[in-house]
Structures are given as structure tokens and as C-alpha cells.
Amino acid sequence: MSQGISLQPSRQLRRRYRAERRFKAYCVGALLLSIAFLVLFFSDMVRQGHSAFIQTEIQAEVTYNEDTVKFTNESVDESIAPLVSRAFFRSIPRRVDADPSLMGTTETLWLTATADVDQYRKKYSDRLEPEMQSTLERLESEGKVSYGFNKGLFTSGDSKIPSNAGLWSAFVGTFYVMLVVLAVSFPIGVATAIYLEEFAPDNRFTQGVEININNLAAVPSILFGLLGLAIFINFFGVPRSSALAGGLTLSLMTLPVIIISTRAALRAVPQNIRQGAQAVGASRWQAIRDHVLPLSLPGILTGTIIGVAQAMGETAPLLLIGMIAYIPDAPTSMTEAATVLPAQIFTWAGMPERAYVSLTAAGILVLLSLLITLNATAVILRNRFERRW
């Protein structure tokens, strides 16, 4: 009489299932832990930085005459003047020069308050003189104190006055630097990848080049700063602290990323495309130019955008070429002294005033928004135009 086959899993098979469930639980736990850290990070940045997007404003009458243009603190009531930011008083001569008809007139304006008043109203500080506190309470009861959107955060450059500090000069510097990075690294990186993938012979030299390119993608970024300092500034004489020097330095760091991603995109195009084009009389270059490159362009653009986003978030290479500087006015050319968003955030993080804590967090939120936008653009381009073979 034949014995029946047992359908129960063996002990060894049960151990495998338990190990699989444990591994799955570890993976889910790691994912949840990563999400928790991200939520904690973003919530802390929002908590500290949201207040920098609004600013205390005080309504006051401003008088323009020869005395107030010379002694600007006298342009508003003497009890209100200590509550108003010095940046406004410094702007009075420029306002009169721009519009001479203001002389001899009085107008009612909402004026930016000092950082101490702003921090006091936001409950971040209680260090305000009793006389100023009573004046502020009186103005609040009269409806002459309110919060307004901090336009200066996006329209002003760096300032030693926290209430007047903004990101505009860093925005312009970042734009110039990224233009240089794209103009240098994109054509060189794509051309190098095309040669290595489509034309270069498979020998020890090209293998060595490929190994070094892969190694350069993992080199610490500060070493590229040393290379940029030695080559572009000390040897070629590129102006220190300029967007041109920063862009060239970051181009060295971005090149390996573009080369590797471009080669992967070219490799993803089937050989049948190349062989079919050559079969009807196209040269090797014509097949690549007219068929392979258009099909691999989404992958090339994705890798380029990711490389540029990585460069946009770098600070260490720029430390060595002097782009950590006080830049109150936006540069008008690529050879003028400039700074970038990560460097501006780094500078604000070292300032002693409490108001710069909120500005630092707000700068981080702005930079993260730009980086997330660039990475989302890369994902959209890949999903929209990618072709699966």
C-alpha cells in the first residue's frame, strides 16, 4: 500500500518563510524610519523657517524735507523711530533722488520693523526695552502694527541688518553658476560619452579612462574645490569669488555624472537601431546623430538635470574659491564677486543674531524647493519620453 505524500511544508521550508518575513519586516521598518526622519527634518525646517516669510510692519507718517534727508531718523515720529529698521532710513536719500517731488511732503507708509521688534512679536525673544514695549502696545491698539509678506527675502541681497537680508544676490549668483555648469559640462560630457560608447576601441587605455571617470563620480566634492583653485584661479587667473570660477569648478564635479548617465542612455538603445540605419546606407555618425541620440535624449536630460541639481546644492568646493562672501548687491556679470544659495545659507548659519536662525531655515526651504523641482522635472521627463524596448 503506497504512502500518501505530505502537503505540510518541511521544517527547512518554514524557516525560509520566517526568514523572508523577517527580511520584509526589516525593509518596511527601514522605509518607515527614513520617512520618519524626513518628516522630522521638514517639520523642523518649517517650524523654524515659516516666520521668516512674514515680517512685522509699522504704519507711520514719513516727512521729506532737507532736515530729514540729512538726519533720516527725524523723518518719522521720535517715539516710533527706534522701532523702525535702519534699512528704511538709509533708503530715504535714494527715494528722494529717484522722486524729487517728495520733498516737502508727508506720506503714510507701512515700514519694516527692527529685528528685535519682529522677534519680540513672534515670541522668539523678550529682550525689548520697556519704553519700546509700551510704544509697540500703543501702536498695536491703534491698529498700526501688523504682519506682511517679507518681500525682501526674495528681492534684497545679503545685509548685516537681519530685517533687510534677502536671497536675491544668491539667486542671481546661482543662476550664473548653473549657466556656466550647463555650458561647459553638458556638451563635453555628452561628446565624451558618445565617443567612449560608440567609437572608442576596447583597449586598456579606454578601460582606464572609464575606471577613472567612475572613480571621479565618488570623489569628495571639496577636492574639486582644490582643483578649481589650483587650475582656474591660480593658473588661468579666473577672478576669485566669481560665478565663472564657481561654475567651472562645479563643472568638473558634474562631468562624471553626465558622462555616466549619457553612456547608460546610449547603451539602452538596441543595436538593431544602429544596424538598421547602417543597412540603408547611413554612416556610423549619421546613425548615432539621427536615430540613437534622439531616442536616448530623455535619459541624457534626466542625468544632466540630476547632475545640475547636485551641483546647485554644493557648498564645499565653493569654500575654497572664495564664494562664501558678503554680497549685498546682485552681480551683473560672471566675473564679479558672487555667492550661491548654499553658501548664503552657510553664512547666515554662522551669524549670532537670533533672527538669522529663521532666515537660515527659510533659505533651506527655498533651496529644497528648487532641488525638488529639478528632480521632479527629471522624473517627469523620464516617464514622459522614455521608451521601453
Which grid coordinates belong to 47? 517650524
Contact of 209 with 196, CB cutoff 8 Å: yes
Please say if the pLDDT value at position 264 is more than 80: yes
What's the rounded mean pLDDT across residues 369-373? 90
Contact of 210 with 196, CB cutoff 8 Å: yes
Which grid coordinates belong to 165? 537680508
What are the tens digits of pLDDT across the range 22-59? 999 999 999 999 999 999 988 998 998 999 999 999 99
Structural domains of the chain sorted by starting position, each given as residue range(s) with its CATH number in brackets: 51-89+107-150 (no CATH), 168-385 (1.10.3720.10)
Answer positive or negative: Cα dihedral of 236, 237, 243, 244. negative
Which grid coordinates belong to 350? 554662522
Residue (of 120, 155, 162, 151) closest to 53 by Cα position = 151
Which grid coordinates belong to 118? 519682529
| Spatial strand order in the sheet of 54-63 | 106-112, 54-63, 145-149
The per-residue pLDDT of the chain, averaged, comes to 89
Please say if the pLDDT value at position 385 is more than 80: no
Please say if the pLDDT value at position 19 is more than 60: yes
What are the tens digits of pLDDT across the range 130-179? 899 999 999 999 999 999 999 999 999 998 888 899 999 999 999 999 99
Which grid coordinates belong to 329? 548687491
Q: What pLDDT shows up at residue 203?
A: 87
**Angle, helix 293-312 to helix 168-194, in steps of 10 degrees:** 140
pLDDT tier, 253 (very low <50, low <70, confident <90, very high otherwise):
very high
Burial 150-164 (b: 16+ CB within 10 A, else e): bebbeebbbbebbbb
Complete DSSP assignment for 200-257: S--SHHHHHHHHHHHHHTTS-HHHHHHHHIIIIIIIT-PPTTBHHHHHHHHHHHHHHH
Q: What pLDDT shows up at residue 190?
A: 94
**At residue 324, what is the residue type?**
I
What's the rounded mean pLDDT across residues 308-314? 89
Please say if the pLDDT value at position 212 is more than 50: yes
Q: What pLDDT shows up at residue 85?
A: 92
What are the tens digits of pLDDT across the range 170-189? 999 999 999 999 999 999 99
Please say if the pLDDT value at position 2 is more than 80: no
**At residue 11, what is the residue type?**
R
Kindly report the number of other CB atoms within 10 A of residue 266's CB atom: 21
Percent of the chain predicted with pLDDT > 70: 97
Q: What pLDDT shows up at residue 30?
A: 95
pLDDT tier, 342 (very low <50, low <70, confident <90, very high otherwise):
very high
Return d(Cα 58, Cα 189) in angstroms, integer.
Answer: 54
Contact of 117 with 169, CB cutoff 8 Å: no
What's the rounded mean pLDDT across residues 304-309? 90
What's the rounded mean pLDDT across residues 345-356? 89
What's the rounded mean pLDDT across residues 277-289? 89
CA-based angle 175:177:182, to the nearest 5? 95
The Cα-based distances of 45 to 109, 221, 311 in angstroms read 32, 25, 22
Q: What pLDDT shows up at residue 375?
A: 86
Please say if the pLDDT value at position 1 is more than 50: no
Please say if the pLDDT value at position 116 is more than 70: yes
Contact of 14 with 327, CB cutoff 8 Å: no
Q: What pLDDT shows up at residue 169?
A: 93
Could you give phi then psi for residue 152, rounded to 5 degrees? -60, -25
Please say if the pLDDT value at position 218 is more than 80: yes
Please say if the pLDDT value at position 345 is more than 50: yes
Please say if the pLDDT value at position 384 is more than 90: no
Contact of 307 with 264, CB cutoff 8 Å: no
